[in-house]
């Protein structure tokens, strides 16, 4: 195999591997991103700082409601 073809094949293989790994990471961390988007509040301070707060009670309630809803769906006759 010619060296240029060998390098091109290696580069393409690496690109496909990196994109596949990135897709796996996105799927893995999607639930956490949803939690942060829904329940994290951030405020920029005048001096350049950042204050953040996570609404644990609302997140827990949402999880409780989702579990109760999914349990009801499993109990419904098809």
pTM: 0.50
How far, in Å, are 2, 39, 47, 76 from residue 11 at the CA level? 14, 41, 45, 52
pLDDT at 2: 66
- C-alpha 62/C-alpha 31 separation (Å) is 13
Cα-flanking dihedrals φ and ψ of residue 64, to 5°? -60, -45
- C-alpha 16/C-alpha 12 separation (Å) is 6
Q: pLDDT (tens digit, 9 = 90+) per residue, 24-77?
A: 777 788 888 888 888 899 999 999 999 999 998 998 888 877 766 666 655 555
Strands 50-54 and 40-44: antiparallel
């Amino acid at each position: 195999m010619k060296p240029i073809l060998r390098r091109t094949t290696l580069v393409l293989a690496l690109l496909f591997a990196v994109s596949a790994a990135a897709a796996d990471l996105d799927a893995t961390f999607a639930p956490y991103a949803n939690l942060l988007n829904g329940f994290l509040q951030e405020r920029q301070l005048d001096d350049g700082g950042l204050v953040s707060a996570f609404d644990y009670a609302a997140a827990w309630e949402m999880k409780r409601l989702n579990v109760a809803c999914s349990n009801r769906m499993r109990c419904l006759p098809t």
